[in-house]
Chains A and B, each alone.
Chain A
Amino acid sequence: MLKIKDLHASVEDKTILKGINLEVKAGEVHAIMGPNGSGKSTLASVIAGKEEYEVDKGEIILEGQDIDELSAEERAHKGVFLSFQYPVEIPGVTVTNFMKTAINETRKARGLADMPANEMLKLIREKSELLEIDRKFLSRSLNEGFSGGEKKRNEIFQMAMLEPKLAILDETDSGLDIDALRIVANGVNKLKSKDNATIVITHYQRLLDYIIPDYVHVIYNGKIVKSGGKELAHELEEKGYDWIKEEVNA
């Protein structure tokens, strides 16, 4: 599904990613962990196509195609989805209208006609139930005045609506209480299939109790310095990140 080869990326001339190698296959869940400032969110933004980030070297290959030259919307049309760490508030655009526009623009790019209105309504109802989202919430302005938990649930709702091939969840657990965390994780788990893949970016192991990863990678100083199975997350929870830093710096 996704192959990242020796990826170097920078923002405003500051190099943040210094040679990332990662392969994610369909049906897999990968967790990316690491201390603050190690480059986790940058990796997510670079894969999603944020223009401020410059790829200096390396390749991002999605289903055999190098996507470096593609715009953020073209990547979305190919099935990339980023759940934002800080979803942006957009007053004046309702959740529903936003989703309608996103779905129909994606369909247009794939050569499909607009989704019929009744089908859209049905889909919205179904997916909002999955995320236990109140209907009233859907006619509110996107993220405006939403609590931290509501914002994250809304992100996963969007993911459920768009059914991406590759979902990247950037610190989706931050700001969530335990109930919201369960709802969000449940949503993600239900969307999992043998044809899609998920990258979970997190600082803490907590979310990984609910979304069980197949692989855990530790990023430090712009590189993946350690990879392992889900037990690596537990080890990090117990011992923190200092031993990793020491290992790397030794």
Chain B
Amino acid sequence: MELKEKLLSSFLAFENQVDVDSYVHEIRSEAIKKFETKGFPNKKDEAWKYTSLNKILKEDYSVFSKEENALEYSDVKKYFIHDIDSYKIIFIDGKYSSHLSETTHDGMDVCLMSAALTKPKYRLVIENYFNKIAKDDSLASLNTAFSREGAFINIPKGKLAEKPIQVIHFSTGNEAALMLQPRNLIVVGENSHVQIIERHQSLTSNPILTNSVTEVFANKRAIVDYYKVQNDEKNASLIDNTFINQKQQSHVSVHTFSFGGKLTRNNLNFFQNGEHIDSTLKGVTIIGDKQHVDHNTLVHHIEPNCESHQDYKGIFGDSAIGVFNGKVVVEKEAQKTNAFQANNNILISDKASINTKPQLEIFADDVKCSHGCTIGQLDESALFYLRSRGIPEKEAKALLMYAFANNVLESVKIPELKKRINKLIANKLAVNIGFDL
């Protein structure tokens, strides 16, 4: 059975398992209809011109995990940033693992979407925020239809979440192939501050397809730092749909580190609903083999006096394919907008490729918008300089590649995470040198 048919026919069974009277039933029913009409995106869609889902959709995915699976912390510790104190919301094959998690309701909610969607005390938050900014495109609709579990983070106003929150989705490979659809909702109150680290990690080479939707609401003067660590197994694919709504004077940054997985598509959308907003989108992509990473960003400047900064670096080896599609829309009212976008790439193999496409739609006349994309090779004279000091070719290349990506890492505010990313980069480049700069 085609995956689409399988999903459609599973919907009734899914709804039978969950509370059909709930407020979200209507939303789910609408969403499945939208998915039925639109189907999966294909290359005819402009936004999917360079990324084809055909191959990964051919797998015979289970759309729900049949069993509860357990993992021992010691076996998966390496996927945590374990040298810091943090809240943890952990899922195994789409199901919550209380064993690995550390949630809280003390002054803020760091807990589960399933609780938020069913418990009366969260009703108001759900009515105010759930599915308010997720697009009604086919993949987000599909996720909405099956929305049941994920992270729910609700920080009231004036609260500094003193520990970062780690959200990790493990898949064990107990199913021959598994599709996961986590749904996350993050509401950050006025003047509040939160740091989130998200990771999707398969533990086997069985095919995994994750279609994730995250909605983030940053209220007035809120600060949200979101880090996505994408270093998954070779048959794990991820479609990450993240929607961020910002109110005035809020600062939101999203750093995406893409080093692994089969196919990764990041749909990252920022909506600026207020003045003096700052949005930061940064990414480092280092891939090889036949890996494919696609960054599809949107920054929608709606009101005046706001800024956005996009800086994506990519290093592509072997037959890897990169895509960057960065769209910036500046509405007529959004005067004095300062929008910056850069996408710089290095190709280290003749067979690797990158498709980069900035899209600027500017309707205001008093704005500063810049964009630039480059595709290059490693600088030969720099390479000779390093080698002449005794640094072997492989290490010298790694050092130059690290240096190239470094300014994206500079803005990572959690030192232990930065150290981990440095280590992942060293592993990815197969060198044993410290990048502790």
Contact residues of A with B, CB < 8 Å?
Answer: 48-52, 71-73, 75-77, 81-82, 84, 87-88, 90-94, 97-98, 100-103, 105-106, 109, 141, 158, 162
Contact = CB atoms under 8 A, between A and B. Distances in A.
Contacts of A105: 390-392, 395, 433
A71 B403 contact: no
B393 interface: yes
Given A49-B387, A71-B393, A90-B385, 19 more contacts: A52-B380, A71-B392, A72-B388, A73-B388, A73-B393, A76-B389, A76-B390, A77-B390, A81-B388, A84-B385, A90-B382, A91-B406, A92-B437, A101-B391, A102-B389, A102-B390, A105-B391, A105-B395, A106-B390
Interface string B213-240: 0000000000000000000000000000
B437 A88 contact: no
Contacts of B393: 71, 73
A48 B382 contact: no
Indicate the member of A49, A84, A92, A158 with the most B CB atoms within 10 Å: A92
14 contacts: A71-B387, A72-B387, A73-B387, A88-B381, A91-B403, A92-B402, A93-B403, A100-B434, A101-B395, A102-B386, A105-B390, A105-B392, A109-B390, A141-B403
Given A72-B384, A84-B385, A97-B437, A92 B407 contact: yes
Contacts of B435: 97
B400 interface: yes
B400 A90 contact: yes
Contacts of B381: 88
B46 interface: no
Nearest to B409: A92
A74 B402 CA distance: 23
Residues of B contacting A: mostly: helix
A73 B390 contact: yes
Contacts of A88: 379, 381-382, 385
Contact of A90 (B387, B403, B405, B433): B403
Given A73-B391, A73-B393, A162-B390, A97 B385 contact: no
Interface string B260-296: 0000000000000000000000000000000000000
The 4 closest A-B pairs by CB, nearest first: A92-B403, A92-B406, A76-B390, A106-B390
B399 interface: yes
B255 to A, nearest CB: 16
Contacts of A141: 403
Contacts of B391: 73, 101-102, 105
A56 to B, nearest CB: 20
Contacts of B407: 91-92
A118 to B, nearest CB: 16
Interface string B364-391: 0000000000000001111011111111
Contact of B436 (A49, A50, A97, A109): A97
A51 to B, nearest CB: 7
A57 B195 CA distance: 63
Nearest to B403: A92
A179 B160 CA distance: 53
A93 B437 contact: yes
Nearest to B401: A92
A97 B435 CA distance: 8
B48 interface: no
Contact of B399 (A81, A101, A162): A101
B404 interface: yes
A111 B390 CA distance: 14
Nearest to B392: A73
Indicate the member of A73, A81, A105 with the most B CB atoms within 10 Å: A73
Given A92-B402, A93-B437, A101-B433, A49 B388 contact: yes
Given A73-B390, A93-B437, A102-B390, A87 B385 contact: yes
A32 B387 CA distance: 24
A162 B388 CA distance: 11
Interface in B398-437: 399-400, 402-407, 433-437
B246 to A, nearest CB: 30
Nearest to A161: B389
A138 to B, nearest CB: 12
Nearest to B410: A92
Interface in B347-378: none
Contacts of B379: 88
